[in-house]
Amino acid sequence: MAHATLTREAVASHKAPDDLWCIIDHKVYDLTDFIDAHPGGSVVLEQVAGTDATTAFYNLHRQEVLSKYADLCIGTIEGEKPEVIEPQPGDLSPVPYAEPLWLRPQFKSPYFKESHHKLRRKVREFVDKYVTPEAQEKEKDGSYISQELIDRMAENDMLAMRLGPGKHLRGKDLLGVVKGEEFDYLHDLVQAQEFVRANARGFQDGNMAGMMISLTAVLQWMPDTPFKQKIVTEVLAGKKKICLAITEAFAGSDVAGLRTTATKSKDGKSYVVRGTKKWITNGMWCDYFVVGCRTEKGFSVLLVERSDAVETKLIKTSYSTAAGTAFVEFNDAVVPAENLLGQEDKGFVVIMSNFNHERFMMACAVIRQSRSVVEECLKWCNQRIVFGKRLIEQPAMRQKLAKMISHVESNQSWLESMAYQMSHMSYAQQSKHLGGPIGLLKSHATRSAHEIADEAVNIFGGRGLTQSGMGRVVEMFHRTYKFDAILGGTEEILADLGVRQAMRQFPKAML
């Protein structure tokens, strides 16, 4: 039926199970053919047949349900206009605290310029249109990212952009809004925070997280040879995939305890890699592995190509298998000597220098995801009616929200200040001065995530434990925030690093 203008009296006459209409937000829905398919059952719909069910609907559903079932809408009530906002791709949320201060029109920022705003809009449009729909689907069924999405990201230089600022961006016009040479760590923060709005933690890592933490090491530490150029070109074009393989069943943060060995051949032309790696993000589909190995006198990092001597098995973790997390076995994999990253026996610096950007990215992500949870809680408290009034009218709920907002706002401010420092330091200066502060920031952000997840589940009740419907964002966050607390260095290791680095810079004179 075409959209019609209808009266409330007309709607009231359609109140039988085989002829059932209702009003939601001034629009009329014909639910006759939907009643048996309704996930909430037919009885509840019969109870509201012919009436205005707006309050009942928003007490139980997200707005997106109405967008998904838009074809059930047959008209609008005469003289009335819908009040609910339907967000369009790229839009900012009007919910207070749903966006960081710099994106709220009434506030100013010393850091963000026009190009950051333009990039934010472009990346959000892309994520809303292409990433979120696929992320939601893959998060559920556990299958891997599509080549189509990888190609689309590659065509738009998004794979390159996600490695952070650097030579690899030279000459590029990023999404038509930022020149590659001008792309700084604040742009980097923007893209990282926009990507996680897809709200699918397993898929988020499945979406090239392995590349983000391993190609950086190739770029930084491999000599400039045609072989290096080939790998970088293939990976940034999305044709080949790469991941970082450091952790083992024997050792995680304790890199010195690793057991995978790389034995050099007598003629010095190759290494033989033997050992296992565990929890390798994207390992299931990668063509290249950046592998931490024991060599004769120390620790070295090698680029190992997939071959018959490399076997990958899927590990099921508490997030979706969309991340392709693997157990990897290198059974005498032969690797040419030119695949060495940095110097032999001096691989520790390769891994350590790579960590700053990885941890910064993780802080960007967990802080943005925490904000999405705060937005969900604010919306829910505003729409949920309990004991005859909205949840937000309960002082206990307002206390929880105040605590959550304060965590997110303070972490975001710290993060922005860190991005500014990074933008004004060389890579070497960053390694020297920012390892500790970035470690402390990530460690604090994941402690905050713990508090936020805990409060959010209590606010949502049973829905905070349910993977579909109103509480799905909260459920996912509560189930997966620990990934950020463990990956890239545990909270304890990073907190300790922060203090140890500070102590190294402590003045020698007595104070």
Residue ranges in contact with ligand HEM by CB under 6 A: 22, 24, 29, 31, 38-40, 44-45, 48, 53, 56-57, 60-62, 65, 69, 72, 468-470
Comparing every residue's Cβ against ligand HEM, the nearest one is 40
What minimum distance in Å lies between the beta carbon of 135 and ligand HEM? 17
Q: Smallest distance from the beta carbon of 85 to ligand HEM, in angstroms?
A: 17
Residue 463 CB, shortest distance to ligand HEM, in Å, is 6
- What is the nearest approach in angstroms of ligand HEM to the Cβ of residue 36? 12
* Of residues 41 and 298, the one with the C-beta less far from ligand HEM: 41
Residue 11 CB, shortest distance to ligand HEM, in Å, is 13
Given a contact cutoff of 8 angstroms between Cβ atoms, the answer to whether 380 and 360 are in contact is no
Residue among 404, 434, 432 at smallest CA distance from 421: 434
- Taking CA 163 as the corner, what is the angle to CA 476 and CA 133, rounded to the nearest 5 degrees? 35
* Shortest separation between residue 474's beta carbon and ligand HEM, angstroms: 13
Do residues 247 and 276 touch, judged by C-beta distance below 8 A? Answer: no
Which residue number, 15 or 432, has a Cβ lying nearer to ligand HEM? 15
Listed in sequence order, the residues at least 6 apart from 90 whose beta carbon sits closer than 8 Å to its beta carbon are 121, 122, 124, 125, 128
Q: What is the DSSP string of 390-441?
A: EGGGSHHHHHHHHHHHHHHHHHHHHHHHHHHHHHTS-HHHHHHHTHHHHHHH
Q: Which is nearer to ligand HEM, 56 or 251 (CB)?
A: 56
Task: With CA atoms as reference, report the closest residue to 407 among 380, 447, 442.
Answer: 447
Closer residue to ligand HEM, CB minimum distance, 64 or 148? 64
The CB-of-69 to ligand HEM minimum distance in angstroms stands at 4
- Smaller CB distance to ligand HEM: residue 55 or 318? 55
- Residue with Cβ nearer ligand HEM (62 or 444): 62
Beta-bridged to residue 206, according to DSSP, are none
Secondary structure in 3-state letters for 439-479? HHHHHHHHHHHHHHHHHHHHHHHHHHHCCCHHHHHHHHHHH
Instruction: Look up tokens 């349910």; give the residue.
Output: 466
Let me know the angle formed at the C-alpha of 119 by 118 and 124, rounded to the nearest 5 degrees: 105
Instruction: Output the smallest distance, CB 35 to ligand HEM, in A.
Output: 10
* Exposure letters 180-214 (e unless 16+ CB within 10 A, then b): beebbbbbbbbbbbbbbbbbbbbbbbbbbbbbbbb
Please, which residue, 21 or 126, has the CB nearer to ligand HEM?
21
Closer by beta carbon to ligand HEM, 196 or else 470: 470
> Minimal distance in Å, beta carbon 199 to ligand HEM?
14
Place of tokens 């770029």: 219
Nearest to 135 by CA among 216, 68, 201, 179: 201
The residue (of 264 and 379) whose beta carbon lies closer to ligand HEM is 379
